[in-house]
Chains A and B, each alone.
Chain A
Amino acid sequence: MILPDPLDRIPPRLALTHQPIVRVALRPGDRPLVANGDRVEPGQPIIERLRHAQVGEHGLHGHAMPAPGTTFAEGASVAGSGRRALRFDGAGEVVCTLPGGRVRAVVSRHLATVESPVAGTVTALDATALSLRADGTGIVAAIAVGEPACGPLVVAVEGPSAELRAQRIDVRHAGSILVAGSRVDVESLTRARAMGVRGVIVGGVIGTDVHALRASTERQEASVHASPPFALVVLDGYGKRPIPPDAWESLTEAAGQTVGIATTPAMVLLPPDAVASRTDGSRVRVVSGPFLGRTGRVLEMIGLRRLSGGVYQESARVALDPLAPPGANDVVELPIADLERHG
């Protein structure tokens, strides 16, 4: 008989990634401000981005063709020199030269900068994206909306299951990243952005609120003046969902330090000394159903069980931690698909 690890069929939470690679996509007209191999610090401008980019065309008038991808500053010559030099009305990037001898470029007179969300090294830079290897650790998230952002971390709720109310956000939080508990609504998000908060970390979110935030982000991009970056990162999924315990521990430990939010992939970026794995590897968290968010320990695997709905699922007997210690453990039978190993 081969004895399996009783927990090995319970999916692990893919929570922490050491020195993760994060990516910032480059749009047409974007000008990288760093080079491959450069060190970057949190908040350092890494990309100059065109706002309200438009497509312009100019005749070459016999000048040499500029190479596609050539970036130019406002007023700078794209081809030729002197009074007859080819200049566009703004900064931008040459897209192509058309057969009739016209140069097509993406241009804008409004520029913004994209800041690095993390301390790290530029590992790849091409026409499509800029990749950074972060120095620290990343907490993998389910969803991220907005732009990469960074700031000092403020734990704004009492526990991972608490909710952040809009009235608790004020100007003291300007420039920071807030840990907002199990759910945040659109009112709190709007207020946070208005107060200059750079990001919100939360366990769950209602889909319509994400929808509203995306629409708000588009409106911000369409406005004349650039606003500071703002990001929402959701660690566990849609609905009200407590922050997973390992993530909560890491976040509370990193309170006061500068952390970042990456959107590709969705991730919270912690400084190298902020993460400590205190769990013993045998504990589980309930990720669905009436015990959502509760943690505990698997007592035994009990094989296939016929559950509500006539569904057969591999199940386990789990001793759930008391809701308010000290107290008795609740022992329940749960499908292992609704559990997650952590630690």
Chain B
Amino acid sequence: MTSGATPSFTIDVGSASIAAALIAPLDGRRRLLASAAAPVAVGAEALLRHLVNRVSAADADTLPHPAAWPDWPRVECRTVPPPRVALAGVSQRALEPLEREFTREGWRVTASVTADRAQAYDAALAIRDPELDLLVVGAPDGTARDAIAQLLAVVGAVASQRPGLPVVLSGGGATAVPGVAPDRTLRGHGPADTVAVSRQAIPGRLAGREAFVRSVASLAQILDLRVEGVDVGHEAATRLMASPDGVLRRIVLADGALVPSAALEDQRLLDAIARWSPLPDDAYVVRDRLRNLRIAPWRDATSDGARLRLAAARAALERLQDAWGDDGRDHAGGVQWPFTDRHGHVPTTAPDLLVASGGAFAAPPGPAVALALVDTLRRPGAVVLAHDHARVLGPIGMLTDEDERRRFLAEIVDAALLPLGSAIVAPGLRAARRGTVRVTVHGVTTTLPLTAGAVQVVDLPPGVSATVELESPDSLFVGARARRVSFEVTGGLGGLLVDTREIPLRLPDRAERRRAYLDAWQRPLWTNAEP
């Protein structure tokens, strides 16, 4: 399907936008020749024809038979709105592990209800929701028989009126739901197993997001690096950490969407997004612009609209970071990481490579995207930042053959990952104290001051490597504590960001002061972006 002999397309169909890339054989290997994105209503055909035309106009010999493009192979990935699940259990406490697990795996939990009379109306309303995809009944082992019998009577009576709704029984406390046919009842044990079983009830609904995870894992393997992937889209966000050994941790979060659907009615959520905006507009104007970003996310992408979009992206990344469970704080001399790889190694610093993907990062300029990532996914140490600008990682993840996927990625990775730059996050320098940054490129050393609580931008073009040495009167925290530390970094559109701000980043509560800080941090990266 994706043999190197003929050109092929990758197509990433999201909930709001569609991205396509044209990949063709050149000099014996596949190359990414062109990519474009458009609102999903435009459709794939118009986009693919545009790509073929663009390449043919640039060099008529690159594509020998451009008119045959409708027959070229396509690798397509499709992401859809998160599936909706209602949870029913004997108590709210018993439902918490299930709710946590479903939320982390990309489901939208619409209700958590019990059999209590006080909740009977809400339970019936939740199970009758026409948009509901799944009902999960939590009946863990050891639960009192009376309580389970009451729960099953209530849930079964309502579920029996919805013949198409699949039901998952979680735990060994019950064997069947009365009134629900056995052929639409699935069984799960612990919360993790229940979520895994629940995927069978919605075949393919999460495939697009899983494809991104597979691609990043393959990327970690072929680059032999620890790679973190983050994909923020219109309906959900995905984040994962992968090493050459495989996926270490992952999360898919419906609330991680650029502007979650709940924000249309939840003013607090909008205000939480607006906290990241450096724009001095009135609060109600910003809220309405954010609501419009939810309704039509492709519009208003230039000028202030681009800044507001990145404010929304920062808030989405912040929600993703909160759900990830690691606040990045220095606990007793070392960051507490909740995972290890299969060799028991604990990654204590930033990953080697952080790849951003998704519609949220499609429009804003690369340097500004780099800072947004550094502002929110903060880990001590150095990291290389890259952007999956053609959104090929999702489609490539749809290739089921691991070897084919790795070959495909290996051939186009240089063009597929746009270098945004490198970042060194090194908090620890006390206020009003100064250190030194020495950047050595091709044997020439430039010395700059290292200031506390700031982010400095060092010009380092894409493809250029440098040795960076930080020297400070105070111990800098870069995974370990040191007063003098050096890193090998590579350049990108945003150059090198040297960041001595705290982890996590705390923004002032007063709006004017907060906007002044945000503007001061972002201005160097946006000023260069003005036409």
A residues lining the B interface (CB < 8 Å): 1-5, 8-12, 14, 23, 25-28, 53-55, 57, 68-69, 95-99, 104, 106, 126-129, 142-143, 206-208, 211, 214, 237-239, 287-289, 306-311, 313-314, 335, 337-338
Contacts and interface: CB of A to CB of B under 8 A. Distances in A.
Given A4-B50, A9-B46, A14 B41 contact: yes
Interface in B281-305: 284-285, 287-289, 291-292, 295-296, 298-305
A26 to B, nearest CB: 7
Contacts of B291: 207, 237-238
B447 interface: no
B179 interface: yes
A14 B429 CA distance: 55
Given A95-B158, A97-B153, A311-B364, A9 B287 contact: no
A96 B158 contact: yes
A308 B303 CA distance: 5
A4 B302 contact: no
Best-surrounded residue of A28, A54, A57, A208 (most CB of chain B within 10 A) = A28
Interface of B: 36, 38-39, 41-42, 46-47, 49-50, 52-53, 56-57, 60, 66-67, 69, 117-118, 120-121, 124-125, 128-130, 146, 149-150, 153-154, 156-158, 160-162, 179, 264-265, 267, 270, 284-285, 287-289, 291-292, 295-296, 298-307, 363-365, 368, 526, 528-531
A103 B117 CA distance: 11
B302 A335 contact: yes
Contacts of B47: 9
Nearest to A3: B53
B530 A308 contact: yes
Contacts of B57: 1
Contacts of B526: 309-310
Contact of A337 (B39, B52, B66, B365): B39
A287 B305 CA distance: 13
22 contacts: A10-B42, A11-B41, A11-B42, A27-B128, A68-B157, A95-B158, A96-B156, A99-B149, A99-B150, A99-B153, A128-B130, A143-B295, A206-B284, A214-B265, A237-B295, A238-B289, A288-B305, A307-B302, A309-B530, A310-B306, A311-B365, A337-B301
Given A96-B153, A311-B302, A306 B531 contact: yes
A238 B259 CA distance: 15
B296 A237 contact: yes
A336 to B, nearest CB: 8
A69 B162 CA distance: 11
A68 B264 CA distance: 35
Contacts of B39: 11, 337
Contacts of B49: 2, 4, 8
A96 B150 CA distance: 10
Given A1-B57, A8-B46, A11-B38, A310 B529 contact: yes
Given A106-B121, A237-B295, A308-B530, A68 B42 contact: no
B225 to A, nearest CB: 29
A182 B215 CA distance: 46
A302 to B, nearest CB: 13
B295 A309 contact: no
Given A1-B66, A9-B42, A95 B154 contact: yes
A313 B365 CA distance: 11
Contacts, number: 182
A105 to B, nearest CB: 9
B128 A68 contact: no
Nearest to A10: B42
Given A9-B42, A206-B288, 16 more contacts: A1-B66, A11-B298, A25-B129, A28-B128, A57-B117, A69-B157, A95-B157, A98-B153, A99-B146, A106-B124, A128-B162, A207-B267, A207-B287, A309-B304, A310-B364, A310-B530
Nearest to A8: B46
Nearest to A30: B128
Contacts of A99: 146, 149-150, 153
Please list the 3 inter-chain residue pairs (A to B) with the smallest Cβ-Cβ separation, ordered nearest first: A310-B529, A96-B157, A68-B157
A2 B301 contact: no
Nearest to A50: B121
B117 A2 contact: no
Contacts of B289: 238-239
B157 A239 contact: no
B39 to A, nearest CB: 4
A311 B157 contact: no
A183 to B, nearest CB: 11
B299 A338 contact: yes
Nearest to A314: B36
Contacts of B162: 126-128
A307 B531 contact: yes
B128 A12 contact: no
A5 B292 CA distance: 28
A98 B295 contact: no
B530 A23 contact: no
Contact of A207 (B146, B157, B179, B284): B284
Given A97-B157, A309-B306, A2 B42 contact: no
Contacts of B270: 207
Contacts of B368: 310
Given A12-B41, A99-B149, A4 B53 contact: yes
A127 B38 contact: no
B531 A310 contact: yes
A215 B44 CA distance: 42
A309 B365 contact: yes
A14 B149 CA distance: 49
A14 B265 CA distance: 24
Contacts of B302: 289, 307-309, 311, 313, 335
Nearest to A310: B529
Contacts of A143: 264, 295
A313 B301 contact: yes
A311 B363 contact: yes
A288 to B, nearest CB: 4
Most buried by A among B66, B69, B124, B285: B124
Contact of B301 (A14, A98, A237, A311): A311
A337 B53 contact: no
A318 to B, nearest CB: 15
A53 B299 CA distance: 43
A43 to B, nearest CB: 24
A289 B292 CA distance: 12
A208 B284 contact: yes
A243 B60 CA distance: 45
A55 B125 CA distance: 13
B117 A55 contact: yes
A99 B155 CA distance: 13
A104 B120 contact: yes
Nearest to B122: A28
A243 to B, nearest CB: 16
Contacts of B301: 311, 313, 335, 337-338
Nearest to B130: A128
B441 to A, nearest CB: 25
A1 B67 CA distance: 7
A63 B66 CA distance: 77
